[in-house]
């Protein structure tokens, strides 16, 4: 006997720069259907949002007419469908709900967009999409609601590290690790001696992480040159250099994060934290975190759709089923 | 009455990746003539070295047949005219002379190439051309021969910082600051909100330096994102962003150098050091060094030709005139 399927209750959209991912969720937050599209906001022609939305979600809306729609990500940026101004840290789910912006489509559907989060300061930080993933993780992983607060890492082109406490995003950092890796590999001398390999080389990666951790005091602008000089001196093959550089950069990111933690008399060693992101990249970060003494860094699955679901419930767009204990 | 002109005694070549600069020097080391060419080693066809050399220096050799020729730079690399294997640190002028490699041209001239310097270790470092500039600076600036040793900075695509003592290059660091700046500006999201201005903005530059110095503990992978977010929050105009990013990167270079110095119970504050490089870039570094408390960082002029001259004298290729006191 299969469990009864919940009726569709929400269209949830993760709409970023390079792609659009749509989820048809039941009232219990479980995905009944998903659709992916390459209609990221940077790839659309002017006025292309509604068309891309119809193409991806039209069939669901035809079949289940009164469905609410909630979107998160760069779709709410100044270059998006409608700008949802940033909510400032410390930000909780209520603040995000209060900042939701509405669009009425030609079909008469209201599309609601979750705002991003801004932290002011000498180094201002912004996120769009990650705030929703973070609230998804908070809803599904009890360890993130520990009394002392929690740390969540979101590896990616622009990796984020967020400090959360009592249901609020208190502060966060952005490391351009992924984008810097690509720029160094494709547009500097470091790429000239590299060769891409099908399989990744875990030992070269760990060597990079350890070098950043132990000998990284001149900073990443200096250590990256060793990708080339370890090649010149016969200590790294061309095929090992990409993984070594990746390890160096992720190692420097964790070294920087360690410096931030040290100011609070804390460290990565022995810490529990959670990761959100694609599996291969989270595996890479977990391997690097282990070199910093952090052994408990599981990936929170389905954070995006769970975040959209939770915000929709908080906004009254969806009524969660009563729990039967 | 003009001073008598010394007879030509040396053809000195600074032959790098993107250009060739040739000096006709008198026995006293003073340049009698110079010629520039874009015939850098990466721009030459196979076997193009001799032709480029003849084109640049042929007229001098025709007029003064028995002239010795000494070259430094990437011309001695594996991709150069002939490979002059690296000399290892600590390296003095005698070690460079012993490592000189000779080429016989069709004309019957012997071209001698100065080797580069290699420092082994976890972060190996290499230089080609800078070692010659450093020996030029040592010959012309007495402050670099102080008992406790000296620090020389060579800003550029790959900036070098060398510790010299008793006429030896003891150790050095390479910071890929210039190349990273170009890669970030031209190939990441940071370039999208930037606008290049004819005049540089000193206050935006200093703001970048100060941010790296004071708030740079998450590391450069994190701080560079502020180039964008200070723009998003209206604190940096598009025209200020390139100078801010330049200040950030140079500030991180100096922060890294400070960490290196701190391990020797030393610092940049109050220190005397010397710079070698193009005037505009040295000015930029001097402004940044001042933010770190270093006020005595003059540029050593003519370091390249003085270095080639000094090594030629040391090698017995040129006899320096007796000093008349």
| Per-residue pLDDT reduced to its tens digit, B50-90 | 999 999 999 999 999 789 999 999 999 999 999 999 999 99
Burial pattern B63-91, b for ≥16 Cβ within 10 A else e, equals eeeebbbbbbbbbbbeebbbebebbebbb
The C-alpha angle with vertex A176 and arms to A174 and A177, in degrees rounded to 5, equals 115
The string of pLDDT tens digits covering residues B127-186 is: 999 999 999 999 999 889 888 899 999 999 999 999 999 999 999 999 999 999 999 999
Can you tell me the distance from the alpha carbon of B259 to that of B263, in angstroms, rounded to the nearest whole number?
Answer: 7
Q: Choose among A124, A218, A220: nearest Cβ to B260.
A: A218
**Does the pLDDT of residue B208 top 90, yes or no?**
yes
The string of pLDDT tens digits covering residues A9-38 is: 999 999 999 899 999 999 999 999 999 999
**In the predicted model, what is the mean pLDDT of chain A?**
95
**Does the pLDDT of residue A65 top 80, yes or no?**
no
Mean pLDDT in residue range A248-258: 98
Joined tokens for residue A79? 């270059």
Please identify, in words, the CATH class of the domain defined by A8-141+303-314: alpha beta
Q: Choose among B126, B226, B256: nearest Cβ to A219.
A: B256
Domain regions of chain B by residue span: 8-141+303-314, 175-299
Q: Cα–chain-centroid distance for residue A283?
A: 14
Q: Which residues of B touch A209 (CB under 8 A)?
A: none
Q: Choose among B184, B218, B257: nearest Cβ to A259.
A: B218
Can you tell me the distance from the alpha carbon of A239 to that of A224, in angstroms, rounded to the nearest whole number?
Answer: 16
Q: Choose among A126, A225, A259: nearest Cβ to B176.
A: A225
Helix (H) or strand (E) holding A118: strand A117-119
Taking alpha carbons only, the member of A189, A166, A165, A81 closest to residue A128 is A81
A176: closest chain B residue by CA:
B221
The string of pLDDT tens digits covering residues A152-176 is: 999 999 999 999 999 999 999 999 9
**In the predicted model, what is the mean pLDDT of chain B?**
95
Q: Which residues of B touch A221 (CB under 8 A)?
A: 175-177, 180, 220, 249, 252-253, 256
* A87 phi and psi angles, rounded to 5 deg: -95, 140
Please give the pLDDT value at position A66. 87
Among B162, B176, B235, the residue to mutate for chain A (most A Cβ within 10 A): B176
| Of B47 and B235, the one with more pLDDT | B235
Cis upstream peptide for A90 (omega within 30°): yes
Please give the pLDDT value at position B66. 87
Question: What is the number of H-type helices and E-type strands within chain A?
Answer: 10, 15
Mean pLDDT in residue range A181-200: 93
B256: closest chain A residue by CA:
A218
Q: Choose among A176, A222, A253: nearest Cβ to B173.
A: A222
Mean pLDDT in residue range A78-93: 96
**Does the pLDDT of residue B4 top 80, yes or no?**
no
Can you tell me the distance from the alpha carbon of B180 to that of A179, in angstroms, rounded to the nearest whole number?
Answer: 12
Mean pLDDT in residue range B192-219: 95
Q: Compute the radius of gyration of chain A from its Cα atoms.
A: 21
Mean pLDDT in residue range A127-149: 93
**Does the pLDDT of residue A2 top 70, yes or no?**
no
Among A125, A222, A262, the residue to mutate for chain B (most B Cβ within 10 A): A222
Can you tell me the distance from the alpha carbon of B170 to that of B250, in angstroms, rounded to the nearest whole number?
Answer: 23
**Does the pLDDT of residue B205 top 90, yes or no?**
yes
Specify the 3-state DSSP secondary structure of A231.
Answer: helix
Among residues of chain B, what percentage have pLDDT more than 70?
A: 98
Among residues of chain B, what percentage have pLDDT more than 90?
A: 89
Here the ipTM equals 0.95
**Does the pLDDT of residue A113 top 90, yes or no?**
yes
Q: Which residues of B touch A189 (CB under 8 A)?
A: 158, 179
**Does the pLDDT of residue B308 top 50, yes or no?**
yes
Q: Which residues of B touch A214 (CB under 8 A)?
A: 122
Please give the pLDDT value at position B189. 94
DSSP state of A75: G
Among residues of chain A, what percentage have pLDDT more than 90?
A: 89
Domain A8-141+303-314 matches domain A175-299 at the CATH topology level: yes
Sheet with A168-175, edge to edge strand ranges: A91-92, A168-175, A159-165, A150-154, A272-275, A296-299
Mean pLDDT in residue range B218-237: 97
The C-alpha angle with vertex B242 and arms to A123 and B175, in degrees rounded to 5, equals 80
Contacts of residue A222, Cβ cutoff 8 Å, sequence gap at least 6: B123, B173, B174, B175, B176, B253, B256
Torsion of CA B136, B138, B144, B145, to 10 degrees: 180
The C-alpha angle with vertex A58 and arms to A57 and A62, in degrees rounded to 5, equals 125
Please give the pLDDT value at position B1. 46
Among residues of chain A, what percentage have pLDDT more than 70?
A: 98
Question: What is the number of H-type helices and E-type strands within chain B?
Answer: 10, 15
**Superfamily designation of domain B175-299:** 2-keto-3-deoxy-galactonokinase, C-terminal domain (3.30.420.310)
Q: Which residues of A touch B253 (CB under 8 A)?
A: 219, 221-222
The string of pLDDT tens digits covering residues B23-45 is: 999 999 999 999 999 999 988 98
């Amino acid at each position: 006997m299969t469990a009864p399927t919940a009726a569709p209750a929400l269209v949830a959209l993760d709409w970023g720069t390079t792609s659009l991912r749509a989820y048809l969720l039941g009232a219990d937050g479980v995905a009944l259907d998903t659709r992916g599209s390459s209609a990221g906001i940077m790839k659309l022609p002017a006025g292309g949002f509604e068309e891309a939305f119809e193409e991806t979600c039209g069939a669901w809306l035809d079949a289940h007419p009164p469905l609410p729609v909630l979107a998160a990500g760069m779709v709410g940026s100044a270059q998006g469908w409608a700008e949802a101004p940033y909510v400032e840290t410390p930000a909780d789910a209520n603040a995000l709900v209060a900042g939701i912006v509405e669009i009425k489509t030609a079909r008469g559907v209201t599309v609601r967009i979750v705002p991003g989060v801004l932290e002011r300061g000498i180094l201002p930080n912004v996120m769009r999409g990650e705030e929703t993933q973070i609230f998804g993780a908070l809803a599904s992983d009890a360890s993130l609601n520990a009394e002392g607060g929690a740390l969540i890492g979101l590896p990616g082109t622009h990796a984020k590290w967020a400090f959360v406490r009592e249901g609020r995003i208190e502060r966060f950092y952005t490391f351009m690790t992924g984008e810097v890796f690509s720029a160094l590999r494709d547009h500097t001398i470091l790429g000239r001696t590299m060769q891409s390999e099908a399989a990744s080389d875990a030992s070269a990666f760990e060597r990079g992480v350890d070098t950043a951790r132990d000998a990284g005091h001149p900073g990443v602008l200096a250590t990256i040159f060793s990708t080339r000089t370890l090649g010149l001196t016969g200590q790294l093959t061309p095929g090992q250099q990409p993984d070594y550089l990746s390890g160096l950069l992720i190692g420097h990111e964790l070294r920087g994060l360690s410096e931030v933690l040290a100011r609070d008399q804390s460290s990565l060693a022995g810490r529990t934290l959670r990761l959100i992101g694609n599996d291969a990249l989270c595996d890479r970060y977990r391997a690097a975190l282990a070199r910093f003494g952090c052994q408990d860094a599981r990936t929170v699955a389905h954070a995006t759709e769970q975040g959209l679901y939770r915000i929709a419930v908080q906004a009254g767009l969806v009524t969660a089923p009563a729990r039967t204990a």
